[in-house]
Amino acid sequence: VQLQASGGGLVQAGGFLRLSCAASGRTFSFYCMGWFRQAPGKEREFVAAIRWSGGITYYADSVKGRFTISRDNAKNTVYLQMNSLKPEDTAVYYCAAGRTASTLPYDYPYWGQGTQVTVSS
């Protein structure tokens, strides 16, 4: 599976962005998808994950109620809708594919290249 993330940018605090992650390969619907982020000098951290069917989602406490993960298996794409953005959301955001909807980066063997999200105060 090859992943291509897009949709990052510069936004003011309180604003919104929608990230997309397009996947190649016909087996996309069999994979669980996750979003992670990494700020400068910090470890990569879990943001959200969604099971292959799309019916069950998981979120980090820091984004719960503000971010929404979704997927369109017909389009081989997973989305991350980010609302009420805060300066502390500034990071490079990565999408990842794996067999389980895990919060751990090492459970995902496939990664996109990352897209920068910058939230100004």
Provide, rounded to the nearest whole percent, the portion of the chain with pLDDT above 90.
Answer: 88
Residue 54 has pLDDT above 80, yes or no: no
| d(C-alpha 31, C-alpha 106), whole Å | 15
Residue 30: pLDDT band (50, 70, 90) is confident
Residue 82: exposure state from Cβ atoms within 10 A (0-12, 13-18, ≥19)? buried
Pairing of strands 3-6, 9-12: unpaired
**What integer is the mean pLDDT of 24-45?**
91
Residue 17: pLDDT band (50, 70, 90) is very high
Tokens for 79, please give them. Answer: 């989305």
